[in-house]
Amino acid sequence: MKAEIITIGDELLIGQVIDTNSTWIAEQLNDVGIEMHFKCTVSDNKHAILQALKDAEKRSNLVILTGGLGPTKDDITKHTFCEYFNTNLIRNKKVELWVEEIFKKRNLPVIDVNLMQADLPENCEVLWNRSGTAPGMWFENNSVIFASFPGVPFEMKTIFKEEFLPKISKIKTLPSIVHRTIQTCSLGESFLAKRIEHIENSLPNYIRLAYLPNIGTVRLRFSAFGNNADALHLEIDEIVSKLKEVIGEHIYAEGEQSLSETLGKILLEKGETIATAESCTGGFLSHLITSVAGSSAYYKGSIIAYDNSIKKSELNIADEILSKHGAVSEACVLEMASQIRMKFNTDYAIATSGIAGPGGGTIDKPVGSVWIGIASKNETKAYLFNMGDNRERTILRTALMGMDLLRKLILKNRANGL
């Protein structure tokens, strides 16, 4: 079954209200095995709604609509439905009694505009709204199901869960859809795709792979479609095992776990601790680490040594290092990482120093040049990167790379018994 969502409302088109309904609906449809393949937003305009309904009927088996079902005169959706489905508005007595009862419980008078909620297209089936006065509606036309919901999120969700899902499950045999998300870091999308090309090419036609890149990370989402969920899970397990053989070092989690959460769990396993010394990231690395609840168990603190005077006074960076190599150098971040680890008495440390831009670059050290230092009790290493010429992306990439380098070091040490 292919589904699409039509959201109705001028407020959505002009950005006055953010559309959260379609995201939630899409997740719910996916959970019951209904495939989403189209979404659109139209204005509170009869012709726009009619065209959207006409287009949707040509390409979908299920059309979900939200919005435009309020009691005010500018809500034209029900009248438009009457035109599209060739019917008339009639007063539904059961809905009318329901509206009256709601206002009675609230000790409020019922006025004509409230009772208009009970005026519904004659050929629709009512989807009861136990959270409000505007009912949902179910239509069937040319073997296509249309379900309309009010735009108020909590009302829409009530109708969807209590009325729509049970009804659609009874009349349709729904397939299984299994999703698995693999989180990767420190390898760009194109390089990642090249590395796993043979795995992607061997996927059966009922398993799809989507690349979902973000700054510094790429999510791999596998979606499997069929009638046996258990069998699909096993197939994806085999695919993930093959992935780990090829790009295992770049996989930091499955599901929606962040890199910060992954690093925190690794540290918690052995009761180990970390500190940071930041220059170009200006505290952003610390922010990501401490965004995880419970991070106080493994994170001791940071020194944001943005100016060289702070590097000297708080991290004991020698004048010779700064004058000979500069702050953006291997020698400097090695010392920053080593000093912060000793100063805060932690098991590990991350240090960052670079040129985030847009100014400050030279021929030898162009904008985007970043050194990251990683220190442990056994070794201290430094890594040079060019993160590009966008300041915000450079800061984020540097913070993520620092955490990923430490993650890899810890796992390597543990594999070697260190």
**pLDDT at residue 266, rounded to an integer:** 98
Give the global pTM: 0.78
With beta carbons less than 8 A apart as the criterion, state whether 221 and 180 touch: yes
Specify the long-range contacts of residues 99-102, CB closer than 8 Å, at least 24 apart: 99/133, 102/132, 102/133
Distance CA 329, CA 308 (A): 13
- pLDDT at residue number 400: 98
Residue 395 phi, psi (nearest 5): -65, -45
> Helix, strand, coil shares of the chain as percentages rounded to 5?
45, 25, 30
pLDDT tens-digit map of 292-351: 999 999 999 999 999 999 999 999 999 999 999 999 999 999 999 999 999 999 999 999
- For the chain, domains (ranges, CATH) are 2-171 (3.40.980.10), 176-254 (3.30.70.2860), 261-415 (3.90.950.20)
Q: Which residues contact 72 (CB under 8 A, 6 or more apart)?
A: 113
| Torsion sign across C-alpha atoms 53, 56, 62, 66 | negative
User: pLDDT for 226-236, tens place per residue?
Assistant: 989 899 999 99
Rounded-to-integer distance, Cα 285 and Cα 288, Å: 5
Q: Counting beta carbons within 10 angstroms of the beta carbon of residue 117, is it exposed (0 to 12), middle (13 to 18) or buried (19 or more)?
A: buried
pLDDT of residue 313: 97
pLDDT at 32: 86
Q: Which residues is 4 bridged to in the sheet?
A: 38, 63
Q: Give the per-residue pLDDT at 69.
A: 64
Structure confidence at residue 260 (pLDDT): 98
Residue 74: Cβ-neighbour burial (10 angstroms; 0-12, 13-18, 19+): exposed
Cα 124 from Cα 112, distance rounded (Å) = 22
CB 238, CB 199: distance < 8 Å = no
What percent of the chain has a predicted confidence (pLDDT) above 70? 98
What does the pLDDT profile of the chain (418 residues) look like in tens digits?
899 999 999 999 999 999 999 999 999 998 888 889 999 999 999 999 999 999 999 999 999 999 976 555 556 889 999 999 999 999 999 999 999 998 988 888 888 888 888 999 999 999 999 998 899 999 999 999 999 999 999 999 999 999 999 999 888 777 788 999 999 999 999 999 999 999 999 999 999 999 999 999 999 999 999 989 899 999 999 999 999 999 999 999 999 999 999 999 999 999 999 999 999 999 999 999 999 999 999 999 999 999 999 999 999 999 999 999 999 999 999 999 999 999 999 999 999 999 999 999 999 999 999 999 999 999 999 999 999 999 999 999 999 999 999 999 999 999 888 7
> Measured between alpha carbons, how far is residue 397 from residues 290, 332, 390 in Å?
17, 20, 10
- The conformational region for residue 233 under phi > 0 = left, psi -120 to 50 = alpha, else beta, is alpha
DSSP state letter for 118: G
- pLDDT at position 73 is 55
